[in-house]
């Protein structure tokens, strides 16, 4: 009997303890509930390691000062897994609109599908998310025009025939890399066919040089060979390897299609260091400050200025329309392999040594004090 009483006592003490420990979690606010509905719009950008996306963050922060909605910006640091975590964290905070620039256009489908399940509207920002119906809108620059502008610049600079041409591309996981390359090929291919340029660093491109149009698989083969993966180091290593295997006759006055500013500076430095290269012309895009200075100093030939303020403004306007229950304005659509995604597109501007000041400084994009020797 005594034993039974002791057991009963221990049992009731244990019950009391369990009740105590469970009380705060069940009656107090749960952590997830605390977070819920604290953020209206979530923004996810690919990486802080490239100035392009830090530029976008800065422009978002400036533009958002004027809205009453609460917004959170997260970076995925080049990882699709981190990107998914970011999206999940924003979903838990009750976002109603997700603005996302995917690290990998295909891999991001899972993240946006999770958002769609919660009734969140998804705006793909700059890079399309492919093979999913969970993207509602797309804000973008005219990426084919970017590639065409780069190639047009090289064509304008070339005289005679047999000019050595080195091709580089972005990451195959980025749909834009295909659009940039497609645009460049539209303009370069006829000039390869007529002998103005001779491709020096891609057997795949040489094998396809007779084709005015390339399908995605064909482009994939060339991109697979000349990809930089948008990585400065990879770009530098690849350029050095190409220069090591090229003969002196493949150098001289060279023409380089570099996909963006970060890779352009890396590739330009490698070509500048090669004694057999007498001159080089190299393209870029993004108008990153470091590249603007390279253009002023004659170390990079051109860039394609994509006014991020417009893209930011367009995506915020879209988000505000959605939050207000209205249909956002669009100008066309992009097929992502599964659906036609309604899109708003922005034009681009070519910047060379002679219009750096008017395009980038006089327009209020950068202060003159950010550069030296600006004329």
Per CB under 6 A, the list member of 96, 127, 191, 251 interacting with ligand BGC is: 127
Q: In sequence order, what are the residues at sequence separation of 6 or more whose Cβ sits closer than 8 angstroms to the Cβ of residue 218?
A: 208, 211
Report the C-alpha gap between 269 and 291 in whole angstroms.
Answer: 12
262, two tokens: 């970060």
Interface size with ligand BGC, residues (CB under 6 A): 11
Q: Does residue 345 interact with ligand BGC by CB under 6 A?
A: no
| 170 versus 328: smaller Cβ distance to ligand BGC | 170
Q: Which is nearer to ligand BGC, 76 or 189 (CB)?
A: 76
Query: Binding to ligand BGC (CB under 6 A): which residues in 33-72?
Result: 50, 52
Q: SS3 for 283-337, per residue?
A: CCCCCCHHHHHHHHCCCCCEEEECCHHHHHHHHHHHHHHHHCCCCCCCCEEEECC
CA 12 – CA 5 distance, rounded (Å): 10
- 174 binding ligand BGC? (CB under 6 A): yes
Least Å distance between CB 147 and ligand BGC? 11
Q: Which of 56, 83, 126, 274 binds ligand BGC (CB under 6 A)?
A: 126
Collapsing DSSP to helix, strand or coil, 98 comes out as: strand
Nearest Cα neighbor of 137 from 165, 115, 107, 169 is 115
Shortest distance, position 125 Cβ to ligand BGC, whole Å: 10
Q: Which is nearer to ligand BGC, 127 or 238 (CB)?
A: 127
Nearest-angstrom CA–CA distance, 105 and 361: 33
Q: Is 230 in the site for ligand BGC (CB under 6 A)?
A: yes
Query: Given the complex with ligand BGC, which of 147 and 328 has the nearer CB atom?
Result: 147
* For ligand BGC, the closer CB: 260 or 346: 260
> Which helix (H) or strand (E) element contains residue 99?
strand 97-100
Q: Dihedral, CA atoms, 246, 259, 294, 350, nearest 10 degrees?
A: 130
Q: Which stretch binds ligand BGC (CB under 6 A): 4-12, 77-85, 169-177, 197-205?
A: 169-177
Residues 264-303, interacting with ligand BGC (CB under 6 A): 285-286
Q: Determine, following the binding rule CB under 6 A, whether residue 173 of this chain makes contact with ligand BGC.
A: no
242 contacts ligand BGC (rule: CB under 6 A)? no
346 lies in the binding site for ligand BGC (CB under 6 A): no
> How far apart (Å, rounded) are the C-alpha atoms in residues 238 and 316?
38
Which helix (H) or strand (E) segment is 168 a member of?
A: none
Rule CB under 6 A: say whether 176 interacts with ligand BGC: yes
Please, which residue, 50 or 204, has the CB nearer to ligand BGC?
50
Q: H/E element holding 165?
A: strand 163-167
For ligand BGC, the closer CB: 202 or 229: 229
Which lies closer to ligand BGC via its Cβ, residue 174 or residue 204?
174
**260 binding ligand BGC? (CB under 6 A):** yes
Element (H, E) at 237: helix 232-245
Taking CA atoms, 139 is separated from 22, 294, 369, in Å, by 47, 29, 31
Shortest reach from residue 137's CB to ligand BGC, in Å: 17
Going 81 to 86 to 90 to 95, the CA torsion angle's sign is: negative
By the rule CB under 6 A, 104 interacts with ligand BGC: no
Closest residue to bound ligand BGC by CB: 260
- Single out the segment in contact with ligand BGC by CB under 6 A; choices: 58-66, 170-178, 219-227, 336-344: 170-178
Among residues 58 and 279, whose Cβ is nearest to ligand BGC?
Answer: 58
Residues in the chain: 375
Binding site for ligand BGC (CB under 6 A): 50, 52, 126-127, 170, 174, 176, 230, 260, 285-286
């Amino acid at each position: 009997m005594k034993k039974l009483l002791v057991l009963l006592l221990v049992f009731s003490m244990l019950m009391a303890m369990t009740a105590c420990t469970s009380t705060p979690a069940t009656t107090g606010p749960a952590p997830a509930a605390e977070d819920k509905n604290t953020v209206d719009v979530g923004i996810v950008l690919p990486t802080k390691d490239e100035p392009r996306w830090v530029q976008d963050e800065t422009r978002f922060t400036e533009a958002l000062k004027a809205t009453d909605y609460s917004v959170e910006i997260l970076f995925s640091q080049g990882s699709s897994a981190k990107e998914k975590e970011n999206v999940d964290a924003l979903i838990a905070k009750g976002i109603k609109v997700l603005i996302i620039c995917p690290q990998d256009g295909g891999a991001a489908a899972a993240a946006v599908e999770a958002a769609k399940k919660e009734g969140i509207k998804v705006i793909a920002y700059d890079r399309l998310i492919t093979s999913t119906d969970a993207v509602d809108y797309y804000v973008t620059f005219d990426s084919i025009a970017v590639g065409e502008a780069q190639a047009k610049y090289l064509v304008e600079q070339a005289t005679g025939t047999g000019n050595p041409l080195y091709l580089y591309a972005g990451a195959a996981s980025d749909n834009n890399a295909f659009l940039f390359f497609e645009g460049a090929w539209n303009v370069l291919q006829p000039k390869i066919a007529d002998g103005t340029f001779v491709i020096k660093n891609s057997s795949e491109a040489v094998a396809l040089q007779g084709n005015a149009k390339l399908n995605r698989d064909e482009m994939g083969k060339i991109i697979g060979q000349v990809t930089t993966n948008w990585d400065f180091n990879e770009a530098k290593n690849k350029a050095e390897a190409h220069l090591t295997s090229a003969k002196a006759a493949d150098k001289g006055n060279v023409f380089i299609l570099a996909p963006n500013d970060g890779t352009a500076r890396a590739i330009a430095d490698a070509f500048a260091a090669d004694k057999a290269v007498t001159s080089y012309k190299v393209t870029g895009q993004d108008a990153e400050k470091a590249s603007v200075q390279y253009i002023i100093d004659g170390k990079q030939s051109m860039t394609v200025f994509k006014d991020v303020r417009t893209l930011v403004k367009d995506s915020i306007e879209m988000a505000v329309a959605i939050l207000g229950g209205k249909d956002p304005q669009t100008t066309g659509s992009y097929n992502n392999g599964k659906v036609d995604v309604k899109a708003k597109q922005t034009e681009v501007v070519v910047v060379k040594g002679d219009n750096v000041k008017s395009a980038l400084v006089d327009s209020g994009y950068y202060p003159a004090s950010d550069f030296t020797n600006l004329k």
